[in-house]
Amino acid sequence: MALPAQALDNPAQAARLVAAGAPDLAMQLAHAALQKTPDDAAWRDVYWLATARTRRPADLKVAPPGGQAEAAAWAGYRLALARQYAAKADWPTARGQWAQALWQGGLDPAAMAEVRAAIAQSWLASSQADGKTELVNPILLRLLRDDPRQLPLVETAALRLLDLQQAQGALELLDALSAQSPLRLLAQLRLGVLTPEQAQASLRSQTTGPAAALAWQALLRLALERNDAGLRVEALEALLGMGIDSERHAFDLWQAYQDFAEQVANRRQLLIGMDAAWLDQARQALDEAPLEGRALLVWLARQGTESALRIQAIEILAENLTKQQPMPAPRLLGNAPIALPRLPESLRYRLGEQARTAGDYALSAAWWQGVSATEAAMPARSWYLAQAEVNARAARDGRALEWLGHALAPGEPLIADQAEAALGQLKQRLRQGQLDQVEHLARQLLTIAPAAEQRKARQLLGEVSELRGQWAEAAAQHLLSAAETADNQTLLARARAARNLERAGLFDDAARQSRLIEAAGSPATADAPRR
């Protein structure tokens, strides 16, 4: 909701908001003022000063700062220009603006670190775009060396160099900035310092430590160089389970399974068209050599001649993958290059639960679509609330609201845990400014929630009314949430009601609430108005 310019009409006060840690608010106030007086230099300076401290996109129609503006205002203007050029992938011009922002001065340490990271990342992005091999330059090295928090960029740069067949440059970069990186082993292999067997053994020893992701990245490249289909499958499964570049690695893993299956089939003397034999061999291999078993199942799912056996192969593959730790099943099957059959509900529930646990809410919502509460082994309302949560986190707001509406529909009363879960989701929507939705759903919650959660729903309705400036309504909701016993929650509700009564001009009622709070001897007295 936009704030009117008259809410704070002094540029100096708005500048103080930046210093107080509210640059977004200051930026909004300045922009509102500039809509009325676009040539006001003081407001322009405040606008760009706030831009230097926020990640919000700036309006480049606003004129640059004035000649007497603070260095931070000019830095903010340069940052806005840099972001514009970066969005167009014009990296040289963006780097120039970032550099000027650094040289201009006025940025706080955190902002300076972000600018350094942006410059370093721009070198990586530009090398990827134009295929240049000249990646490690003095500026990049200086930026990365000055800030140890940029270590991930060092690894990214080294990996890019290795992919560009610049092993010597990668080794020099890692020796200077990340001497313990597993990527050094791959660079040493390519330079002839290590044998493939030595490199593979050393990399495997690091697949369970803090550098596991990099070790698997290196093993994947080693597998490709040695045409080791089994190692390639193993590395891709591990990277997919870690959630690293999931879509690309899932696509690559399907192809890797296919290639590995052909090798396994030749060794096991399996003939194309003998689908039942492939399925029997795959089941047997799942116990003895799981990678081989999964590869055979993928081949059968894609190339099998009998549709019933293709479906069976996918179901067995999914069941097996859900038992892996870390589990790539939701990501692999969710990014399949083939049309998958409709998997059983119980299996789709487990896939969605694994995706939710891994933080991939969009994938979780997709797997849970069409799954019943019975298959999820949950009470219906609990299942609806779980569906609402994953859809909300996946930014599928329409579906989330639909599920939340089902969860709060009239009927059987909620238990306390269900009501608390619903309140948590309503509070999140309140923070997002969805006042109408929160009011409607909170009123539904009032009719089915236990007494303790009814009080909290009333307080939520009071907050909605406060945000709308409906002071009397807000006071009423807070008072209705107060219990007869003078517990702390009740006294805080009375204190909030007293403030709203005073705002509504009901001073006598506000004073009565204050006296009730004082009589209880509560710390809430300090928050209550006095007459």
Q: Is residue 316 part of a domain?
A: no
Nearest to 78 by CA among 55, 51, 54: 51
- 389 and 420, same domain (yes or no): yes
Cα gap 307→310, rounded to integer Å: 5
- 395 and 440, same domain (yes or no): yes
Q: Is residue 297 part of a domain?
A: no
Cα gap 241→172, rounded to integer Å: 31
- For residue 97, pLDDT over 80 is answered with yes
- 487 and 519, same domain (yes or no): yes
- 433 and 512, same domain (yes or no): no
Q: Is residue 280 part of a domain?
A: no
Q: Is residue 226 part of a domain?
A: no
Nearest to 59 by CA among 49, 69, 47: 47
Cα gap 258→271, rounded to integer Å: 15
- pLDDT tens, position by position, 418-474: 999 999 999 999 999 999 999 999 999 999 999 999 999 999 999 999 999 999 999
- 390 and 463, same domain (yes or no): yes
The mean-pLDDT minimum among 217-226, 274-283, 482-491 falls in 482-491
- 505 and 445, same domain (yes or no): no
Q: Is residue 223 part of a domain?
A: no
Give the per-residue pLDDT at 149. Answer: 57
Q: Is residue 505 part of a domain?
A: yes
Which band of pLDDT confidence, cut at 50, 70 and 90, is reported for residue 39? confident
- Overall number of domains in the chain: 2
Domain extent, residue 508, equals 482-531
Cα gap 304→290, rounded to integer Å: 20
Cα gap 453→437, rounded to integer Å: 18
Q: Is residue 354 part of a domain?
A: no
- 419 and 487, same domain (yes or no): no
Which tokens is 420 given?
């608390």
Phi, psi of 410 (to 5 degrees): -55, 145
Helix 307-321, helix 345-357: angle, nearest 10:
40
Which band of pLDDT confidence, cut at 50, 70 and 90, is reported for residue 229? very high
CATH number at residue 414: 1.25.40
- 403 and 442, same domain (yes or no): yes
How high is the mean pLDDT of the chain?
86
Domain boundary among 419, 442, 468: 468
Q: Tell me the pTM.
A: 0.72
Domain boundary among 439, 468, 497: 468
- 390 and 430, same domain (yes or no): yes
- 495 and 530, same domain (yes or no): yes
- 384 and 459, same domain (yes or no): yes
Q: Is residue 455 part of a domain?
A: yes
Asked if 471 contacts 500 with a C-beta cutoff of 8 angstroms, the reply is yes
- 442 and 501, same domain (yes or no): no
